[in-house]
Chain A
């Protein structure tokens, strides 16, 4: 490995560790409401104005059912607006390239995809989407889906930490959580980053595409444009990952320099990592959140090391080490691998290299990373609330081992909560395997496969893992813009999103009124080394048990065949 790349990776990990804490502190200031935060003087008039015109009482707390209803209704309308914009975009302004209306299935898939923070894309933005759709449809959902994730985590944290002697506590106010997430967290950071990206060469205009006549032959190359910088910033900050251009973060207009590459990489993990600390500040369980952070970082580093080792090894099929297929010169192989691990950890889904062309093991690790549930930092909010399900599961398993009713943050975990946890953890995995099997079994699914051999299975599997995990990256050889995939993938995204959110809020609702029992010698500690090891094992074992059989048929088989030089 190049020394430069090694320095960059170490710097990257240190910055994630050291910057996430102050950022989490800042977010805690924003959401606890009591304290002033750094931007409140500037933005609180706007915040209060929003509440007044929308008829919202920011201080009225909600029960879990109300909170859940708000999440579902608000997201439904977000979906509907985006769907309508796409199927009527030719009648709307800001369409200098005269792009046609989108077919219903693609519009449905895209609307679900952006509403669920997945940002799976069966299209290439520069050839299909008008500027109006990109701005008022896609950019908006980049913000709102991220804010939804943060809000659900806040409600979960409040439920888990609620002290019942203060009367029946609510989970907070969804509208206030949304507004604050957008105004104080997502918007200011996006603004600064977007302007920086524009300075580096990310386009930001609403002009028609420019015909350029090439130096050599005068052949015309259309230079695309669009409001890309503003969307790229929130795509990374909000764990969205949907590219303005088809090839996402590998497109020179989306990620033009090593500097933009580093900053975008940092944004991918920084916000999800900060949310771990935010949870610690909100619940007061600082040691616990540090332990969760450590568990995440351990798995991240393990995956990164294994992926780097695999990608930099010799590939006898092409007779080269660290092949550059599907990678960009300015990043090289190491930073492409780093991105692939970060983006699949964080349920982000943007790419700066083509995952389909990664070595079998690197591709598998990207896939497995999503399949673990998007809990290695995960999406903003979504990563942490899913991780907490694994934490509750770990505490439950520890409780079984010592034969004592498990407690988490002093509250008893009972059968009802464990059923919900199991549902939320299993639903995405079950749907992934079921739909993959369907796609393999029927020609409507298998005819979209472009890769021969075991890699074809990986293509299908990756698509459904990515959809149900709300990640959005792809083995992009799969021709997924068909009615079959557009609909099935959208259903997987919906299940992967809301079959987790609703149980999470239900658990919050049932935990909130429970009494806090004081810590005793029998309490299983949720910090320290043994907890970290238990949590890591639970995550890895669950992921491995669910996906190992199918992985052996795809990437693992591929790895051994490739080692012996077999090509398909």
Chain B
């Protein structure tokens, strides 16, 4: 009796492993490769012919001439992805948020006033994946003046930057699903072209 069950278990495991662990992913892989080759390979973006990153993964920007992304617990490292996992009343979180608030106020001056309303507050907090590619449109607008100054742009080109932000803002699908967002990597690549 038990011998029969053991034999059936082993055979079933083998067959179902081949179906669910080999055939199924292979079919998905083939379909993705035919239908969505760009996405299946990691949505890679190129700069001067070289791979510059993935459209979906945030990357580090520290210079004033670029829009800054959200704080990341891993410094935008991918192996592994990660968060701070600070609890809601962790002193490390309290200090980090206070420091970022000061830093943003120093850097963006009166433009940082928007933080007081609660908008753009994601710039104060580290993301869940450490790879959040987006910031809110408000956070981008907050930085526009500073980026323009660092690049020595005049008022007309500041307007172009603001237009670019508007143009690149991804609205929620069906108007309500998820949040408005803007991809920092794409934005910085566009700004470089101005």
Contact = CB atoms under 8 A, between A and B. Distances in A.
Contact of B16 (A143, A217, A561): A143
Contact of B8 (A175, A225, A234, A356): A175
Interface in A299-333: 315, 317-332
B184 to A, nearest CB: 10
B81 A215 contact: no
A212 B80 contact: no
A252 B84 contact: no
Interface string B40-60: 111110010011111111111
A456 to B, nearest CB: 9
A139 B81 contact: no
B57 A223 contact: yes
Interface in B1-60: 1-2, 5-13, 15-17, 19-22, 24-25, 27-29, 31-33, 35-36, 39-44, 47, 50-60
Interface string A113-152: 0000000000010110000000111011011100000000
Interface stretch (A29-37, A49-57, A405-413, A424-432): A49-57
Number of chain B interface residues as a range: 35 or more
A252 B129 contact: yes
Interface string B57-94: 11111110010001000001111111111111111011
A224 B78 contact: yes
Given A124-B82, A144-B20, A246-B81, A259 B5 contact: no
A26 interface: no
A7 interface: yes
Given A54-B15, A204-B28, A212-B53, A258 B172 contact: yes
A216 B62 contact: yes
A307 to B, nearest CB: 13
A247 B82 contact: yes
Given A199-B35, A258-B179, A317-B94, A325 B126 contact: yes
B81 A245 contact: yes
Interface in A336-364: 351-354, 356-360, 363
A318 B15 contact: no
Contact of A54 (B8, B185, B188): B8
A211 B79 CA distance: 12
Interface in B110-166: 118, 121-122, 124-136
Contacts of B40: 198, 203-205, 229
A229 B32 contact: yes
Nearest to B122: A324
Contacts of A546: none
A568 B121 CA distance: 22
A251 B81 contact: yes
Interface of A: 2-5, 7-8, 50, 53-56, 66, 69-70, 73-74, 76-78, 81, 124, 126-127, 135-137, 139-140, 142-144, 175, 178-179, 182-183, 187, 190-191, 194-195, 198-207, 209-217, 219, 221-225, 227, 229-231, 233-234, 245-247, 250-253, 256-259, 261-262, 315, 317-332, 335, 351-354, 356-360, 363, 450-453, 455, 458, 475-477, 558, 561-562, 566-568
Top 8 nearest A-B pairs by Cβ distance? A258-B178, A124-B80, A250-B128, A477-B85, A4-B176, A198-B32, A455-B87, A140-B21
Interface of B: 1-2, 5-13, 15-17, 19-22, 24-25, 27-29, 31-33, 35-36, 39-44, 47, 50-63, 66, 70, 76-91, 93-94, 97-98, 101, 118, 121-122, 124-136, 172-173, 175-179, 181, 185, 188-189, 192
